[in-house]
Amino acid sequence: MSSKIVLEMNTKAVSYLAQGEHECSHFTLQKALEGFRNVLNQQPSEEAPMMLDVDEDEIDGTVLHTIPIHAAQHKTVAPDHSFVTVYRHAFVLTSDQEPLFTENEHTVPSVLLYNMGLSHHIQAIATGQSAIFRKAMQLYTMSFTMLENASDILNDMDIMVLLALSNNMSVISGSEFYDRPSAESSRLMMERILSSTDCLESLEDEDIEFFSLNLMFLSEYQKHALAAAA
């Protein structure tokens, strides 16, 4: 399997997600992850990772795109208390050449895991099943940890994924698991990213507005949670 096929599989999985076909999306993303590992194992390793500036918006010709996942495609059974704050955009990676995953080996799997987490998250909202919320959180956490471990070489694509992860993890922790410390930890990550001028320059205006409003909402939620616990 080539690296471009891995990216194409991710795109196909996002298409399934947009149509509400969660199982097909999960299966395709899992196969893409397996393909990524195989491609990475076949590529020559480098002695040191490539150092990247935070204002890079593409790596080795690979570009990140956001795809909105509209709620109309997903019949909601359970009340969706968190609909306003969930970042319902999946990520697609495209490249005009055969990408070398050794230069962004953390970006691709973090996107695949985020998309898989988002698929479970939306499915959990539709069904109200706590087990699916837990699976979404597990996948989000895996993606987040992967980026956290590569914090010295993050690029703009990674920052966007980190924002989406922090937002959705805070929503699940707060509104579904009532885990205030975890929700606050994710909220603080959003706050740190949004307070960075370099990062803001790389974001679209609508994303800045979305995450900034959510940050205010989540801050108010934390205040009310603290007051209720007092």
How many Å separate Cα 46 from the centre of its chain? 27
The pLDDT assigned to 94 comes to: 87
**Which two structure tokens, joined as six digits, stand for 24?**
């097909």
- The pLDDT tens digits along the chain (230 residues) read 788 899 999 999 999 999 999 999 999 999 999 999 888 787 655 433 333 233 334 445 678 899 998 764 544 444 444 444 899 999 999 887 666 566 668 899 999 999 999 999 999 999 999 999 999 999 999 999 999 998 888 888 899 999 999 999 999 998 899 898 999 999 999 999 999 877 778 888 999 999 999 998 888 876 766 555 55
The pLDDT assigned to 55 comes to: 31
The listed CATH number (2.60.40, 1.10.3450, 3.30.70, 1.10.8) that belongs to domain 3-47+56-229 = 1.10.3450
Show the 3-state SS of the chain. Answer: CCHHHHHHHHHHHHHHHHCCCHHHHHHHHHHHHHHHHHHHHHCCCCCCCCCCCCCCCEECCEEEEEEECCHHHCCCCCCCCCCCCCCCEEEEEEECCCCCHHHCCCHHHHHHHHHHHHHHHHHHHHHCCHHHHHHHHHHHHHHHHHHHHCHHHCCHHHHHHHHHHHHHHHHHHHHHCCCHHHHHHHHHHHHHHHCCHHHHHHCCHHHHHHHHHHHHHHHHHHHHHHHHHC
